[in-house]
Copies of this chain bind each other. A is one copy, B any other.
Amino acid sequence: DPIAPIDPGEAEDFLRQCYLENPRLGPVEPRLAIVRAQIAATGSYVHTTEELSYGAKMAWRNSSRCIGRLYWRSLVVLDRRRARTADEIFSLLVHHLQAAGGGQEGGKIRPVISIFAAAQPGQPYAKLWNEQLVRYAGYRRDGDVVGDPRQADFTAAMEGFGWRGKGDAFDILPLAVEVPGEPVRLYELPERAVLEVPVTHPEFGWFAELGLRWHAVPAISNMRLTIGGVNYPLAPFNGWYMGSEIGARNFADADRYNLLPTVAERMGLDTSSESTLWRDRALVELNRAVLWSFEKAGVRISDHHTESQRFMSHLRNEEKAGRQVPADWTWIVPPISGGITPVFHRYYAEMDLRPNFYPNEHACPYAQN
């Protein structure tokens, strides 16, 4: 519950660890005294810029589902705690996409988090209804869906508020910002804020005819960041894409774009029996196309082999630092060719360490999963 009172023990644990890992911040005891007094007086406390920044990095480091944690120290933390109006929030979200390298002229994607105001005990807080800053609409049409079926409920909700998309397979959804005491407001992302990559294939000319594209930046906006007992319900973050997220899930899942049958047909594969492995063959080509297209467009992306190797390095680094790495095997192992990635061949500690990110169940009345 993001608006529960602050747990002083969690605050203390965080501060001790933060100051221990960052000797340049000085001794923790004086800071603890201040924080205790703040909590006693106000029910909460305010992070310094440095605590906020390092806390966000720790939250990434503790994200047991994330394979991309090697570069956790490099997270760019944008302190947006003073933004209050929907207009302010929207314009800072646009800024986030550009800072992340995900706008027009971009491509050099950097991990960024924008941290908006902390929830105050018992108080309402600003919400973004979208699950990611950039997502494609899904329109229900005669029992089928045009676009991303995962967004069909959300899209219908936006239409209920008067939004009208073009009705194509890759229409960017508006951002739905709701600040306390006001009705939700919808904002169109400006073109300059959204870099997209048309998906073609290194060998199959017909691939371009499928008309596929994807956005450059995965910016998750429906998770609550918690640092030392303080909850930040609006704290969108992004890394760069691992190709399989697009090629093996968004494009391939039967309840998403479901492209394997189409690709297999175009490839002329024998789909009369599963044992021809036509699905697997189409899947690999779909993933090649994604990686190749992003690389050609100069948009940072990585493949699941490279990210797996990086994660192995991360495990070694953290072991050297004397820290355990909480990890969820079922999320870490990529959805394609799992067995030939090094992350497959071991088990991991499953622990719920804080700071961390948690699903923001209350953020959106039209949640996508």
Say whether A104 faces chain B, with CB atoms less than 8 Å apart. no
Q: Which B residues are in CB contact (< 8 Å) with A337?
A: 279-280, 283, 335-337
Q: Mark A332-348, 1 if CB is under 8 A from B, else 0.
A: 01111111100011010
CB of B330 within 8 A of CB of A335, answer no
CB of B333 within 8 A of CB of A274, answer no
Q: Which B residues are in CB contact (< 8 Å) with A295?
A: 275
Which of B243, B345, B347 is the one whose CB lies under 8 Å from A275?
B243
Q: Which B residues are in CB contact (< 8 Å) with A333?
A: 330, 338
Closest CB-CB distance, A275 to chain B, in whole Å?
4
Q: Which B residues are in CB contact (< 8 Å) with A329?
A: 329-330
Say whether A120 faces chain B, with CB atoms less than 8 Å apart. no
CA distance A333 to B344 in the complex (A): 11
Say whether A277 faces chain B, with CB atoms less than 8 Å apart. yes
Say whether A79 faces chain B, with CB atoms less than 8 Å apart. no
Name A226-281 residues within 8 Å CB distance of B: 243-244, 248-249, 252-253, 260, 274-277, 279-281
How many chain A residues touch B (CB < 8 A): the figure is 38
Which of B249, B276, B302, B336 is the one whose CB lies under 8 Å from A280?
B336
Q: What's the number of copies of this chain in the assembled complex?
A: 2
Say whether A284 faces chain B, with CB atoms less than 8 Å apart. yes
Say whether A99 faces chain B, with CB atoms less than 8 Å apart. no
**With A253-B339, A329-B330, A337-B336: A277-B288 Cβ-Cβ less than 8 Å:** yes
CB of A340 within 8 A of CB of B275, answer no
Closest CB-CB distance, A360 to chain B, in whole Å?
21
Say whether A303 faces chain B, with CB atoms less than 8 Å apart. yes
Query: Nearest chain-B residue to A291 (Cβ)?
Result: B275
Say whether A140 faces chain B, with CB atoms less than 8 Å apart. no
Say whether A130 faces chain B, with CB atoms less than 8 Å apart. no
Say whether A305 faces chain B, with CB atoms less than 8 Å apart. yes
CB of B284 within 8 A of CB of A281, answer yes
Closest CB-CB distance, A319 to chain B, in whole Å?
21
Q: Which B residues are in CB contact (< 8 Å) with A340?
A: 248, 252-253, 260, 279-280, 283, 335
CA distance A29 to B281 in the complex (A): 57
Q: Which B residues are in CB contact (< 8 Å) with A277?
A: 284, 287-288, 291, 303
19 CB < 8 A contacts A-B: A248-B340, A249-B339, A253-B340, A253-B345, A274-B305, A275-B295, A275-B302, A277-B303, A279-B305, A279-B337, A281-B284, A281-B288, A283-B337, A283-B340, A284-B284, A330-B330, A335-B344, A336-B337, A336-B339
Sample of 20 more A-B contacts, CB < 8 Å, known A279-B337, A283-B340, A335-B338: A243-B275, A244-B339, A248-B339, A248-B340, A249-B339, A253-B345, A275-B306, A277-B284, A277-B288, A277-B303, A280-B337, A280-B340, A281-B288, A284-B284, A330-B333, A333-B338, A334-B338, A335-B337, A335-B344, A337-B337
